[in-house]
Homo-oligomer: A and B are copies of this chain.
Amino acid sequence: MHVSLKRTSEKKGLPPGSLVHVGARKTEKVMITLIDYDETKYEERQIERIEECLPCDITSGVRWINVDGLHDVDVIEKLGNQFNLHPLTLEDILHTGQRPKMEDLESHLFVVVMAFSRNGTGDRIESEQISIVFGANWLISFQEKEGDTFGMIRDRIRTAKGRIRRMGADYLAYSLIDSVVDNYFGILEWYGERIEDIEEALAINPRQDSLQAIHHLKKEIILLRKSVWPMREVIGGMDRSESPLVSDSVSVYLRDLYDHTIQVMDSVETYQNLLSALLDLYLSSVNNKMNEVMKVLTVFASIFIPLTFLVGVYGMNFEYMPELTWRWGYPALWVFMISVIVGMIIYFKRKKWW
Within 8 A of B (CB), among A4-58: 4-9, 11-13, 15-18
Shortest distance between the CB of A302 and any CB in chain B (Å): 4
Within 8 A of B (CB), among A290-320: 290-291, 293-298, 300-302, 304-309, 311-320
Is A325 part of the contact surface with B, judged by Cβ < 8 Å?
A: yes
Known: A279-B284, A280-B279, A319-B325. A88 touches B256 (CB 8 A): yes
Is A196 part of the contact surface with B, judged by Cβ < 8 Å?
A: yes
Other-chain residue from B16, B186, B302, B318 in contact with A296 (beta carbon distance below 8 A): B302
Residue in A152, A195, A318 whose Cβ sees the most chain B Cβ within 10 Å: A318
Residues in B whose Cβ lies below 8 Å from that of A290: 287, 290-291, 294
Complex: chain B residue closest to A282, CB-CB:
B284
Is A82 part of the contact surface with B, judged by Cβ < 8 Å?
A: no
Residues in B whose Cβ lies below 8 Å from that of A182: 9, 11-13
Complex: chain B residue closest to A298, CB-CB:
B297
* Residues on A facing B (Cβ under 8 Å): 4-9, 11-13, 15-18, 86, 88, 92, 98-99, 101, 103, 105, 152, 156, 161-164, 175, 178-179, 182-183, 185-186, 188-189, 191-193, 195-196, 203, 205, 208, 211-212, 215, 218-219, 222-223, 226, 229-230, 252-253, 255-256, 259, 262-263, 266-267, 270-271, 273-274, 277, 279-291, 293-298, 300-302, 304-309, 311-321, 323-327, 329-330, 333, 352-353
